[in-house]
Amino acid sequence: MNDDAPYLELRGLYKRFGEVEVLRDLSLELAEGEILALLGPSGSGKTTALRLLAGFETPDRGAVVVGGDEVTALAPAARGFGMVFQHYALFPHMTVYQNVAFGLESRGQDRRTIARRVDAMLELVDLGGFGARRVSEISGGQQQRVALARALAPEPRVLLLDEPLSNLDPALRERTRRELREAVREVGITTVLVTHEQEEAFHVGERVAVLHRGRLEQVGRPEELYALPESRFVATFVGRASGLKGTLASFHDGGLAAVEIATGTGGSVRWRGRRAGELAAGRPAELVARPESLRLADAGGPGTLPGQVVERRFTGALAYATVRLENAAEIEVLIDAGAGVDAGDPVSVEPRAGALPFSVFPVEDE
């Protein structure tokens, strides 16, 4: 196999159930040892993509290729993949050791080899000494790690993770997520994680593929998705964001576009953002802003949008103000936690100098 060739490929996967197109020509490439997160809301197609990868479903067209070998027609057991399910699928009547050894025993390996492998996998997931315990006697986070150890024990070609942390409480989820990432990276196995949790996708995935209505919207490093969204869906689904509709006024050097936005008081302002999508001067456009790209200014200042604070939310070191503008739009602004801002205060909003640039998208439905 060429060292530069992708290790795992999804080539134009298409799947429909009845009249519903669930997955529309999904193509992705993973390098050997890479961790990719499939991120999207319910109904985006991410679970179907995972089932096609695992062999539980057959695509209407397209192919799955691993290490240069097409495996599209192979049964799940013949693909040599490991999988951790949302509900772990452990055997509650067995011990931790027996659960991890299950896949190895089915391959007819000798007891000594199995014992060495099970012990190594339990050490990897920080469960050394837990082999004699029954699954029912350990915590949810520990059960998740047992499931991971069982999936890794047969040395699979690819690891598939189906919402593996969704059943854990928030505090346990964060710790287990870190342990999961460290274990997978230590093994160096090519991994696909399916999740609807952005924080989980960003924490575990080296790259993240965002799906929406069966289509791949964008794939890239978490920082790229946040700072350089290629579609309005990615801009608003990944992180916090607010949209301001207006008219595309002009283009500028450096890939910027100016959007003219009505103030709601008879005037307008022109704010600039990076161009994204097919834009035409004089056509409706939407400027999408991150909260940290905006700041509160004195009411009525030049180049600002006037409004009123409708909510202030304290999150610790930071706080957010929701502002209802005079033009009826609502936007979220990052403020200092100690700022003396309260609901009902008249304010104006302006771009924050040196912050992440706005993104400008065409308005498709107008």
Residue 210 to residue 205: CA distance in whole angstroms: 12
Confidence of residue 301 (pLDDT cuts 50, 70, 90): confident
Mean of per-residue pLDDT scores for the chain: 92
Q: Over the stretch 50-101, which tens digit does the pLDDT of each residue have?
A: 999 999 999 999 999 999 999 999 999 999 999 998 877 898 889 999 999 9
Mean pLDDT along residues 12-28 = 97
Question: Measured in whole angstroms, how far is the alpha carbon of residue 192 from the centre of its chain?
Answer: 12
Residue 202 to residue 211: CA distance in whole angstroms: 15
Residue 169 to residue 37: CA distance in whole angstroms: 21
Q: What percent of the chain has pLDDT over 90?
A: 77
Q: What domains lie within the chain, and their CATH numbers?
A: 8-234 (3.40.50.300), 240-362 (2.40.50.140)
On whether the CB atoms of residues 295 and 305 are closer than 8 A, the answer is no
Q: What is the DSSP string of 117-185?
A: HHHHHHHHTT-TT-TTSBGGGS-HHHHHHHHHHHHHTT--SEEEEESTTTTS-HHHHHHHHHHHHHHHH
- CB-neighbour burial class of residue 176 (10 A; exposed 0-12, middle 13-18, buried 19+): buried
Residue 365 to residue 286: CA distance in whole angstroms: 11
Helix (H, G, I), strand (E, B) or coil at 2: coil
Q: Which candidate, 196, 201, 198, places its Cα nearest to that of 180?
A: 201
- Amino acid at position 49, single letter: A
List all residues 6 or more positions away from 75 whose beta carbon is below 8 Å from its beta carbon.
55
169 or 45: which leads in pLDDT: 45
Residue 357 to residue 235: CA distance in whole angstroms: 12
Q: Over the stretch 127-157, which tens digit does the pLDDT of each residue have?
A: 999 999 999 899 888 998 999 999 999 999 9
3 pLDDT higher than 80: no
Confidence of residue 366 (pLDDT cuts 50, 70, 90): very low
Using alpha carbons, list the distances in angstroms from residue 180 to 126, 148, 193, 200: 10, 8, 11, 11
Q: What is the DSSP string of 213-279?
A: TTEEEEEE-HHHHHHS-SSHHHHHHSS--EEEEEEEEEEETTTEEEEEEE-SSS-EEEEEEEE-S--
Mean pLDDT along residues 321-344 = 92
Confidence of residue 11 (pLDDT cuts 50, 70, 90): very high
**Phi and psi dihedrals of 81, rounded to 5?**
-100, 150
Around Cβ 175, how many Cβ atoms within 10 Å? 11
Q: Of 10-14, 37-41, 181-185, 268-272, which gets the smallest average pLDDT?
A: 181-185
The predicted structure's pLDDT at residue 9: 98
Beta bridge partners of residue 335, listed in sequence order = 319
Residue 21 to residue 64: CA distance in whole angstroms: 19
183 or 253: which leads in pLDDT: 183
- CB-neighbour burial class of residue 274 (10 A; exposed 0-12, middle 13-18, buried 19+): middle
The predicted structure's pLDDT at residue 103: 80
| DSSP code for 95 | B
| DSSP code for 66 | E
107 pLDDT higher than 80: no
